[in-house]
Amino acid sequence: MSAFLLRAATMALLLVAGSAWMMPRMFYALFSLCAVLPLFRLVAELRGIKEPDPWKVAVRVLQWAR
């Protein structure tokens, strides 16, 4: 499973679980996902999955938007 699919599945699980709670708890669920992102990156690195550099992607998007 790619790192992207793993993140998407985790986010979907947190969103479904969070929807049963009040809105402030939803924020904490999403915040905890952000706290786990370095773990996803570590697993992706160990599996040899190369992710694009976020800064390069941002520069390309900004250049494209001109």
pTM of the entire predicted model? 0.38
- Distance (Å, whole) CA 48 – CA 39: 14
Q: Quick one: pLDDT at residue 23?
A: 62
pLDDT tens-digit map of 7-60 = 888 777 777 765 555 566 667 777 777 777 788 778 878 888 777 777 777 788
CA distances, 9 to each of 18, 40, 42, 64 (Å): 14, 12, 17, 30
- Distance (Å, whole) CA 66 – CA 62: 7
